[in-house]
Amino acid sequence: MFFHIVLERNMQLHPRYFGRNLRDNLVSKLMKDVEGTCSGRHGFVVAVTGIEHIGKGLIRDGTGFVTFPIKYQCVVFRPFKGEILEAFVTMVNKMGFFAEAGPVQIFVSNHLIPDDMEFQSGDMPNYTTSDGSVKIQKDSEVRLKIIGTRVDATEIFCIGTIKDDFLGVINDPTTA
Amino acid sequence: MALTIEHFNKLVKLAARAFYDDITTKGDNQPKSSRSDNRGIAVVVLDALTRRQWVREEDLAKDLKLHTKQLRRTLRFFEEEKFITRDHRKETAKGAKMYSAAVAATADGTQTGKEGEEKVKLHTHSYCCLDYAQIYDVVRYRLHRMKKKLKDELENKNTIQEYICPNCGKRYTALDALRLISMEDEDFHCESCNGRLEVESDKLATQEAGDGDDNARRRRREKLKDMLQKMEVQLKPLMDQLNRVKDLPVPEFGSLQAWEARATAAARAANGDGSASDSKTSLGLGQLPYNGDTKVVVDFNGGESKGEDIKSEAETQKVLPPWMIRPGMNLTKEQRGEVKQETKMDEASTSTAAQYSDDKKSAVENDDKKNIQDEFIKAYYAALLKKQQELEEAAKKQDDLSNSHTFDNPSSSAANRQVGMKSKRAEDEEDDGTEWEEAPVAGNTSENYKVSDLNVQADDAAADDEDDVDWEEN
């Protein structure tokens, strides 16, 4: 799920950026630093959307670096148990398949794949129904439901299922 | 207390029959002949343990007519199941005796151990005891797991797949999957030993029924539902018992040492060495877990002591135990001596007198009952003393008739007397003319002997004195 929240961060700026566009430099460095990171508490920071407030800089003794406390708005993405996501399949093996929904990695184990789909090994390992109408392989798009999340300090990993109504392949690259 | 432990014992018995009915302690590799089939042993052992507290394993084996090895295997199994606590210690023969003393104290109060001889030989003895608190938790947890497993499988979408390493036994869940994939092949590999992980398949219904088939899936669901229902029905008594036991205080025996110390202390208090203070006795009473209240009630009615009459007739001449004399105080002290003499005298001629002394004897034998009796004496003595003083004074002033009236008054403290007493009183009343003349002077018995009709007089006097004694016993 996506959230728009306000976060705070202390930015350290090198003295060489001091000048007319100190503020711009500060913001671009902030974006470079936080976008794409993941915290267990808030999830993945997708994008910084605005600056709320930049506090007074504090020169640090000995280095000349200046620390600015910054409040900024950003979009974060945090997966939850029970959430439905659309994801790209990245890898298929006999244990199941891995998929990605943006920054999140999701594993769907083979017993959470519908019973009528069977693993086909080979050059392009895939899960196929007996009549061959539905196929899950690398780069397929699937809709899945998250049934478990593991949230570490800097990492979020999910397991999902496609063994439910309206879940499964939504766009097959081979037929498209 | 006794009631609580009954409930817990029932829980243990139900659990034993529900879960340990077909446990065999033999290893799987041994061929099972009909002779070595020892299923049901577990139930027997648990049942036996519900009737005991801490018990030495050799004793238990002897009682159950089992081989010690076999029993020990069963006990070890239950220790792993967290049903019992065990204690092993090296001890001398004396240490073992200390235990048997404790056992005797909890069982029937007869102290058999002699402290005299002492061997320095050390033997390791094992003791075991039911751990009711843990049993309660274990059974509840077991039921919870059973239910959870079936339910999870029934709605099998929300289960997280588990993987196990066949080499090192390490377990992973699907949540670890990202770390487990290796570059070389498509399998999951163990983090510690790099072995190939296998899917944990402890599922109940998956093994049979061909995969994929829609029919099979439905069959499986039905089977699971059936199992769940059956479980609910069959384990209902156990669950009911769990609920019943829920709010009860758990019977706690403590560690072996603590239990032993407590039991022996209680035994000592019950034996009542003369210096035993009141508080101590009452404490000992409270700590004897198996001093059922029912026992005491029976004793009050005097029915039990009646039954022992014949048996103990021979030993009527035993001296009074110290606990009877202790609370005697000034009034009855001189009488005590006379009582004994007179009992001896009358023993042959009057069966009633003998019976009373028998009551005394049986009281001596039942150590555990003494606690109650001791306490009762205390309370009774205050009333009795007052009564007797009143009586003596009254007797001096009043005539015989009025005297007998006071005694017959049902509201007086005499109402609590034993059943046997009543018949005695009736007897007294028949020849009350002579008796009540003597009653006030019962203290100095020299007069009794002066009377010409020795036999009758002594009998009556004895009867009176016995009255006193008997009240003390109450």
Residue with tokens 């239950």: B78
A104-109 vs A96-101, strand pairing mode: antiparallel
Q: Give B106's pLDDT tier (boundaries 50, 70, 90).
A: low
* Distance from C-alpha of B384 to C-alpha of B124, rounded to nearest angstrom: 54
Mean pLDDT of chain A: 90
- Which positions in chain B touch A116 (Cβ < 8 Å)? 212, 214
Distance from CA of B175 to the nearest CA of A (A): 6
CA distances from B461 to B249, B342, B465, B467 (A): 52, 8, 6, 10
Q: Give B399's pLDDT tier (boundaries 50, 70, 90).
A: low
| B156–A111 CB contact, under 8 Å | yes
pLDDT digits (tens, 9 = 90+) for B163-208: 888 888 888 888 888 888 876 677 788 888 888 888 776 555 444 4
A104-109 vs A156-161, strand pairing mode: parallel
What is the predicted pLDDT for the residue at B276? 39
Best residue of B153, B178, B179 to probe chain A, by most A CBs closer than 10 Å: B178
> Does the pLDDT at position B364 exceed 60?
no
| B174–A148 CB contact, under 8 Å | yes
What is the predicted pLDDT for the residue at B146? 87
What is the predicted pLDDT for the residue at A52? 94
Distance from CA of B231 to the nearest CA of A (A): 26
Q: How many CB atoms lie within 10 A of CB B377?
A: 20
| A109–B177 CB contact, under 8 Å | yes
* Distance from C-alpha of B473 to C-alpha of B300, rounded to nearest angstrom: 9
Q: Give B30's pLDDT tier (boundaries 50, 70, 90).
A: low
Instruction: Tell me which range, A5-19, B60-74, B144-158, is most confidently predicted by mean pLDDT.
Output: A5-19
Distance from CA of B151 to the nearest CA of A (A): 16
DSSP class of residue B273? Answer: -
pLDDT digits (tens, 9 = 90+) for B432-452: 444 454 444 444 444 444 444
Blockwise average pLDDT, block size 10, chain A, 176 residues? 94 90 92 91 93 92 92 94 92 90 90 87 88 88 91 88 88 65
- Which positions in chain B touch A159 (Cβ < 8 Å)? 160-161, 174-175, 177
Best residue of A109, A126, A127 to probe chain B, by most B CBs closer than 10 Å: A109
> Does the pLDDT at position B66 exceed 70?
yes
| A115–B217 CB contact, under 8 Å | yes
What is the predicted pLDDT for the residue at A145? 92
Topology adopted by domain B138-227: Herpes Virus-1 (3.30.40)
What is the predicted pLDDT for the residue at B304? 43
| Annotated domain spans of chain B | 2-132, 138-227, 292-473
Section B118-125 average pLDDT = 67
Best residue of B155, B162, B175 to probe chain A, by most A CBs closer than 10 Å: B175
| B212–A118 CB contact, under 8 Å | yes
Domains contained in chain A, CATH given = 2-77 (3.30.1490.120), 84-171 (2.40.50.140)
